[in-house]
Chains A and B, each alone.
Chain A
Amino acid sequence: MTAQTTGTKPRRITYREAMREALREALRSDERVFLMGEDVGRYGGCFGVSLGLLEEFGPERIRDTPLSESGFVGAGIGAALGGMRPIVEIMTVNFSLLALDQILNNAATLLHMSGGQLAVPLVIRMTTGAGRQVAAQHSHSLEGWYAHIPGIRVLAPATVADARSVLAPALADPDPVLIFEHGGLYNASDDPDPSAGPVDIERAAIRRSGTDATVVTFGGCLPKALAAADQLAGHGVSAEVIDLRSLRPLDDATIMSSVARTHHAVVVDEAWRTGSLAAEISARITEQAFYELDAPVERVCSAEVPIPYAHQLEEAALPQAADIVAAVRKAVG
């Protein structure tokens, strides 16, 4: 490949590499940015996202931490207050519960509690989701819990292009942003358009247009929803697939305008059904687009069980493309 073609030819990269490029770009462009977390440095990140960054940026900015989630997430909040732009990596959302105090009681509330004096420009990245047979303490999808909290922004990049693009606007946000990276997506690859501009993190994306039903999903369920839409096309059902991208705030406008066209809605969420983000979206559709609906909103969620280890049990617990196909067919009658 010559130098002339390098800049224009799309490159096929993985979701993991896309996130790494975004981190590298952020670290290069702003000296206040640093990455902190368990095994982000010498190990290269527990999912390999930060591999090679220590060598380029050094141990001050690619900062390995002890296993002290509350301590280092809180330190990220304090460092943000002190003028830095920290990116804190938590290995998985299950472990983030050890830092929930800091995320909720400090990061999300300080601005309000201080009457607007203390903004917390912090980015927290963490892995979420199941599908890798790592059982009930590494597999849950708790991003909906975080989406419950006023004062933080919650993002769930579901594509390679979004993995490359959401970090910069997240760092530009004066308030805390949580980025959920589904573990099943790290090896996904694509050739994102290098000339694509910055992504609007406030807006959902329509990943596939359709006319008969709206499938609302995000994160690791997006590939399943797109596969389901392919299968539905074979049955003569045209499904529109919306990738929320932002879980808080929710882009109601994109959802409602789609439902107004398709008159059927299916929400797909890897979390448990009870009290889920899927429940919130379903409620909003009922509140805002009830008279557009030709059928009740359907939900496809995980079974209400701690995610099991055995492959067949885990697969049975999670939303699958076949479940989405069935739900859409039920909705459209």
Chain B
Amino acid sequence: MKADHTATARGARGTSGSKQARSARRRPAAAKRQPHAAREATDHRRELLRQMLLIRRFEDRCVELYSAAKIRGFVHLYIGEEAVAVGVNQALTEADAVVATYREHGHALARGVPADSIMSEMYGRSTGCSGGRGGSMHLFDAARRFYGGNAIVGGGIPLACGLALADRMRGENRVTCCFFGDGAFAEGEFHEVANLAVLWRLPLLLVCENNLYAMGTALSREHAQTDLALRAASYGMPAWPVDGMDVLAVEAAARRAAVAVRAGGGPCFLEARTYRYRAHSMYDPDRYRDKAEIERWKSRDPIDALADAVRAEGEPAGFVDEIAQKVDAEIDAAVQSAEQAPLEPVEGLLRYVTSPAETS
């Protein structure tokens, strides 16, 4: 079966309205002669590239470490989908909240959860962001309002609905951003929350990462109507698709959605049409899709595309390698830190089942 996002062109068109995207193509080549605003734009793109490279190379390292049996359990890689987490996060502030899935290394890194605390978590160390209780699928960082790391498909969506409800009841002008996949769109919990969030006008940004597969089942085999944005719109919320392989398009769409959500009109839905290059998890033999399909998507790689665009703005040819070196140093340090950190002690096995009794 050929798996493509038939409406991707529509998504791409939808984002071409972004001023940033248009100005990028008109910018003169020489970086040194760029006016201030253009320099800022280039710097921003370099930063987006850095974040995507950090996710990609962090996960490449996860593969190595998994093969070396340093990390275990289920590990779901985000490689290919980096533009979604990075692009969406540009529209969020520190006060906003993020609820993610079990494929959430990228969301955590984009949110600013330190690479070393994520790596340490996968190593089962005391310094892990979930104290070794969560592993790859359950990364949490309350201080950054990063609420996991949910491995029940669709299970994080009601949670995000409640965070948004609390903000609405408390009069907080914050956005709760919930990432989930095309598989979760088939779950009742998505539809219950879509209805609730519109009914109660909750400040919720629903980001469906449509990577065309619910584990091994292709979109057209799991959904009668595969235009997910169209279906989401039927609940009465603004909903539109975006090219999830174009970080600038994702950023523009997310900013537009976040503005609408912050204005108090209720939730918005983005369908980011994307693709995962790797198998569903490290256990998956990937028998259900065609290699040519994967190669076709790799030819639209979000990192390569942005690197080309930034290079065209006048950045030196080797600038990507320079960023990659810095990113690798950060990852090396994260691995080293995880290797050296103490194991979470077995004596604390029963900690965190219930809150400690208050001492008065």
Interface locus among A42-50, A116-124, A232-240? A116-124
In whole angstroms, how far apart are the Cα atoms of A72 and B163 in the complex?
A: 12
Task: Please tell me if the beta carbons of A113 and B134 are within 8 angstroms of each other in the complex.
Answer: yes
Task: Please tell me if the beta carbons of B355 and A119 are within 8 angstroms of each other in the complex.
Answer: yes
Taking CB atoms, residues of chain A closer than 8 Å to B169 are 34, 60, 79, 84
Interface locus among B1-9, B17-25, B147-155, B210-218? B147-155
In whole angstroms, how far apart are the Cα atoms of A82 and B203 in the complex?
A: 13
In whole angstroms, how far apart are the Cα atoms of A174 and B199 in the complex?
A: 29
In whole angstroms, how far apart are the Cα atoms of A115 and B344 in the complex?
A: 10
Tell me, rounded to whole Å, the shortest Cβ–Cβ distance linking A190 to chain B: 31
A241 at the interface (CB under 8 A from B): no
Task: Please tell me if the beta carbons of B189 and A115 are within 8 angstroms of each other in the complex.
Answer: no
**Which of A73, A153, A174 is B158 in contact with, Cβ under 8 Å?**
A73
Tell me, rounded to whole Å, the shortest Cβ–Cβ distance linking B242 to chain A: 25
In whole angstroms, how far apart are the Cα atoms of A81 and B133 in the complex?
A: 19
State which residues 92-140 of B face A: CB under 8 Å.
97, 128-134, 138, 140
State which residues 161-195 of B face A: CB under 8 Å.
161-167, 169-170, 176, 188-189, 192-193, 195
Contact A117 B158, CB 8 Å, known A65-B196, A66-B195, A82-B163: no
A29 at the interface (CB under 8 A from B): no
Taking CB atoms, residues of chain A closer than 8 Å to B167 are 82
B69 at the interface (CB under 8 A from A): no
In whole angstroms, how far apart are the Cα atoms of A264 and B167 in the complex?
A: 54
Task: Please tell me if the beta carbons of B353 and A79 are within 8 angstroms of each other in the complex.
Answer: no
B157 at the interface (CB under 8 A from A): yes
Interface locus among A20-28, A99-107, A220-228, A308-316? A99-107
**Which of B132, B150, B158 is A115 in contact with, Cβ under 8 Å?**
B132
Taking CB atoms, residues of chain B closer than 8 Å to A83 are 166, 170
Taking CB atoms, residues of chain A closer than 8 Å to B354 are 111, 150-151, 153, 175
Task: Please tell me if the beta carbons of A79 and B166 are within 8 angstroms of each other in the complex.
Answer: yes
B160 at the interface (CB under 8 A from A): yes
In whole angstroms, how far apart are the Cα atoms of A141 and B89 in the complex?
A: 46
A41 at the interface (CB under 8 A from B): no
Tell me, rounded to whole Å, the shortest Cβ–Cβ distance linking A52 to chain B: 21
Tell me, rounded to whole Å, the shortest Cβ–Cβ distance linking A31 to chain B: 9
Taking CB atoms, residues of chain A closer than 8 Å to B193 are 68, 71, 74-75
Tell me, rounded to whole Å, the shortest Cβ–Cβ distance linking B143 to chain A: 8
The chain A residue sitting closest to B99, CB to CB, is A78
B142 at the interface (CB under 8 A from A): yes
B283 at the interface (CB under 8 A from A): no
Task: Please tell me if the beta carbons of A112 and B353 are within 8 angstroms of each other in the complex.
Answer: yes
Taking CB atoms, residues of chain B closer than 8 Å to A81 are 147, 159, 162-163, 166
Taking CB atoms, residues of chain A closer than 8 Å to B128 are 115
Task: Please tell me if the beta carbons of B133 and A84 are within 8 angstroms of each other in the complex.
Answer: no
Task: Please tell me if the beta carbons of B140 and A102 are within 8 angstroms of each other in the complex.
Answer: no
**Which of B165, B189, B192, B351 is A66 in contact with, Cβ under 8 Å?**
B192
Task: Please tell me if the beta carbons of A74 and B353 are within 8 angstroms of each other in the complex.
Answer: no
Taking CB atoms, residues of chain A closer than 8 Å to B355 are 111, 119, 174-175
The chain B residue sitting closest to A78, CB to CB, is B162
**Which of A80, A113, A151, A175 is B130 in contact with, Cβ under 8 Å?**
A113
State which residues 192-244 of B face A: CB under 8 Å.
192-193, 195-196, 199
**Number of A interface residues, CB 8 Å?**
40
Task: Please tell me if the beta carbons of B130 and A102 are within 8 angstroms of each other in the complex.
Answer: no
Tell me, rounded to whole Å, the shortest Cβ–Cβ distance linking B198 to chain A: 11
A6 at the interface (CB under 8 A from B): no
Contact A102 B131, CB 8 Å, known A80-B162, A111-B352: no
A76 at the interface (CB under 8 A from B): yes
Task: Please tell me if the beta carbons of A106 and B199 are within 8 angstroms of each other in the complex.
Answer: no
Residue of A81, A106, A115, A150 ringed by the most chain B CB atoms within 10 A: A115
Contact A84 B192, CB 8 Å, known A66-B199, A78-B158: no
Interface string of A146-174 (1 = CB under 8 A from B): 00001101000000000000000000001
In whole angstroms, how far apart are the Cα atoms of A116 and B126 in the complex?
A: 12
Task: Please tell me if the beta carbons of B158 and A74 are within 8 angstroms of each other in the complex.
Answer: yes
In whole angstroms, how far apart are the Cα atoms of A150 and B350 in the complex?
A: 10
Contact A150 B152, CB 8 Å, known A66-B195, A68-B196, A115-B134: no
Task: Please tell me if the beta carbons of A78 and B163 are within 8 angstroms of each other in the complex.
Answer: yes
Taking CB atoms, residues of chain A closer than 8 Å to B195 are 66, 68, 71
Taking CB atoms, residues of chain B closer than 8 Å to A119 are 355
Task: Please tell me if the beta carbons of A114 and B148 are within 8 angstroms of each other in the complex.
Answer: yes
Task: Please tell me if the beta carbons of B130 and A114 are within 8 angstroms of each other in the complex.
Answer: yes
Residue of A60, A101, A113, A119 ringed by the most chain B CB atoms within 10 A: A113
In whole angstroms, how far apart are the Cα atoms of A81 and B199 in the complex?
A: 21
In whole angstroms, how far apart are the Cα atoms of A83 and B161 in the complex?
A: 14
Taking CB atoms, residues of chain B closer than 8 Å to A118 are 140, 142, 147
Tell me, rounded to whole Å, the shortest Cβ–Cβ distance linking B100 to chain A: 13
Task: Please tell me if the beta carbons of A84 and B188 are within 8 angstroms of each other in the complex.
Answer: no
In whole angstroms, how far apart are the Cα atoms of A118 and B351 in the complex?
A: 13
Contact A117 B142, CB 8 Å, known A84-B170, A112-B133, A112-B353: yes
Q: Can you identify 17 A-B contacts, CB atoms within 8 angstroms?
A: A60-B169, A65-B196, A70-B158, A72-B196, A74-B157, A75-B161, A75-B193, A78-B158, A78-B163, A78-B165, A81-B159, A86-B162, A113-B133, A114-B134, A115-B140, A117-B141, A175-B354
The 10 closest A-B pairs by CB, nearest first: A78-B162, A74-B158, A82-B166, A115-B131, A71-B192, A68-B192, A114-B140, A75-B162, A117-B142, A174-B355
